[in-house]
């Protein structure tokens, strides 16, 4: 099979229906499978899927497992050479998926790729390129990790060699709302780190792909539309807990050497082998 598509859903029934419809249309000439993972939605998403898309494979979780774990559940079932992960608030245009596959076919060194992302009003979303929100960018500068992000605009925004909207180029971090991955690369670097419950899993995986020698790319010759539904709910306690918690987890994983202290009956908070 050429392509596996994964969509994780949590209470976005209307957007999910639109997203799946657009993906089916975009994959008319592709040998693909589509897996939806529902994280305990209470908005009748499962009923909509059963009625509108009865042939789609659905994993129904009884509780919210988080995006990383939900993606991993589906990834273990995927059979495609490439895997497309898209958020439920994303619309694919008719040629977007075919162009992504063609790009991956022609770039054997690619571990993954992102494409140009627009808002419903046609506004370019810069996270298409750098995969980071401003808060994540500031955090990575503060902890000194920016030196590993040579292709990400974190410092001098007037530099002329940075990636721009219509420029195809190598990037550091894949966009979590829409990324295509090479399944053989995932087998090498491993699946998503499930401790990144809602945020940061794409940053961690992108970095591991690059550490393994793969390249991540931005491809601007097609696009998707993203409704940015996560930003609309960015002031709740759950959002703040997982958003900033992911930052500290990332710092522990890559920058802090935790002593290997073994005390009977007391588990170690972070494995000591996470130094890079």
Confidence at residue 274, expressed as pLDDT on a 0 to 100 scale: 36
Q: Is residue 150 one of the residues assigned to a domain?
A: yes
Sign of the alpha-carbon torsion through 151, 255, 174, 198: negative
User: How close are the terminal C-alpha atoms of the chain, in Å?
Assistant: 35
Q: Is residue 76 one of the residues assigned to a domain?
A: yes
Decide which of 82 and 252 is more confident: 82
| pLDDT of 39 over the 70 cut | yes
pLDDT digits (tens, 9 = 90+) for 189-201: 999 999 999 889 9
Contact indicator for 126, 177 with CB cutoff of 8 Å: no
| pLDDT of 139 over the 90 cut | no
User: What residues are paired with 9 via a beta bridge?
Assistant: 38
Looking at the 3D structure of the chain, how many domains does it have? 1
Q: Hey, what are 261's tokens?
A: 């202290």
Q: Please list, residue by residue across 206-217, b when 16 or more beta carbons sit within 10 angstroms of its beta carbon and e when fewer do.
A: bbbbbeeebbbb
Which residues make Cβ contacts (< 8 Å) with residue 36, sequence separation at least 6?
6, 7, 8, 9, 16, 20, 49, 53, 56, 57, 58, 59
Confidence at residue 275, expressed as pLDDT on a 0 to 100 scale: 32
Q: Is residue 275 one of the residues assigned to a domain?
A: no
Q: How many CA atoms lie within 13 A of 3 on its CB side?
A: 25
Query: Secondary structure of the chain in the HEC alphabet?
Result: CCEEEEEEECCCHHHHHHHHHHHHHHCCCCCEEEEEEEECCCCCHHHHHHHHCCCCEEEEECCCCCHHHHHHHHHCCCCCCEEEEEECCEEECCCHHHHHHHHHHHCCCEEEEEEEEECCCCCECCHHHHCCCHHHHHHHHHCCHHHHCCCCCCCCCCCCCCCCCCCCEEECCCCCCEEEEEHHHHHHHCCCCCCCCCCCHHHHHHHHHHHCCCEEEEEEEEEEEECCHHHHCCCCHHHHHHHHHHHHHHHHHHHCCCCCCCECCECCCCCHHHCC
| pLDDT of 118 over the 60 cut | yes
pLDDT band at residue 154 under the 50/70/90 scheme: low
Q: Is residue 257 one of the residues assigned to a domain?
A: no
CATH label of the domain that carries residue 62:
3.90.550.10
β-pairing, 110-118 with 32-39? unpaired
Q: How many CA atoms lie within 13 A of 122 on its CB side?
A: 0
Q: Give the rounded percent of residues in the chain with a pLDDT score beyond 70.
A: 85
**What residues make up the domain containing 56?**
3-231
Q: How many CA atoms lie within 13 A of 130 on its CB side?
A: 23
Confidence at residue 93, expressed as pLDDT on a 0 to 100 scale: 93
Confidence at residue 257, expressed as pLDDT on a 0 to 100 scale: 55
Q: Is residue 215 one of the residues assigned to a domain?
A: yes
| pLDDT of 238 over the 80 cut | no
Q: Is residue 236 one of the residues assigned to a domain?
A: no
Contact indicator for 59, 73 with CB cutoff of 8 Å: yes
Q: Is residue 242 one of the residues assigned to a domain?
A: no
Q: Is residue 121 one of the residues assigned to a domain?
A: yes
Cα–Cα distance between 252 and 241 in angstroms, integer? 16
Mean pLDDT to the nearest integer, 150-170: 70
């Amino acid at each position: 099979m050429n392509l596996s598509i994964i969509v994780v859903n949590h209470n976005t029934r209307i957007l999910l229906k639109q997203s799946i419809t657009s993906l089916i249309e975009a994959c008319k000439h592709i040998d693909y499978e589509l897996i939806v993972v529902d994280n305990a939605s209470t908005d009748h998403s499962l009923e909509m899927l059963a009625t509108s898309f009865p042939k789609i494979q659905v994993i129904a979780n009884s509780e919210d497992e988080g995006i990383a774990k939900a993606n991993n559940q589906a990834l273990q079932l995927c059979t495609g050479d490439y895997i497309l992960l898209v958020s439920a608030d994303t619309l694919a245009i008719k040629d977007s998926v075919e162009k992504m596959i063609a790009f991956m076919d022609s770039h054997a060194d690619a571990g993954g790729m992102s494409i140009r992302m627009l808002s419903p009003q046609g506004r370019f979303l810069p996270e298409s390129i750098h995969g980071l929100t401003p808060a994540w960018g500031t955090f990575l500068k503060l902890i000194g990790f920016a030196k590993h992000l040579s292709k990400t605009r974190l410092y001098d925004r007037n530099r002329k060699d940075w990636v721009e909207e219509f420029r195809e180029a190598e990037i550091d971090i894949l966009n979590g709302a829409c990324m295509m991955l090479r399944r053989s690369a995932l087998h090498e670097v491993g699946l998503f780190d499930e401790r990144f419950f809602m945020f940061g899993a794409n940053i961690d995986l992108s970095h591991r792909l690059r550490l393994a020698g793969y390249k991540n790319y931005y491809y601007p010759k097609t696009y998707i539309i993203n409704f940015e539904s996560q930003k609309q709910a960015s002031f709740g306690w759950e959002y703040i807990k997982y958003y900033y918690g992911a930052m500290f987890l990332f710092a522990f994983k890559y920058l802090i050497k935790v002593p290997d202290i073994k005390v009977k009956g007391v588990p170690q908070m972070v494995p000591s082998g996470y130094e890079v």
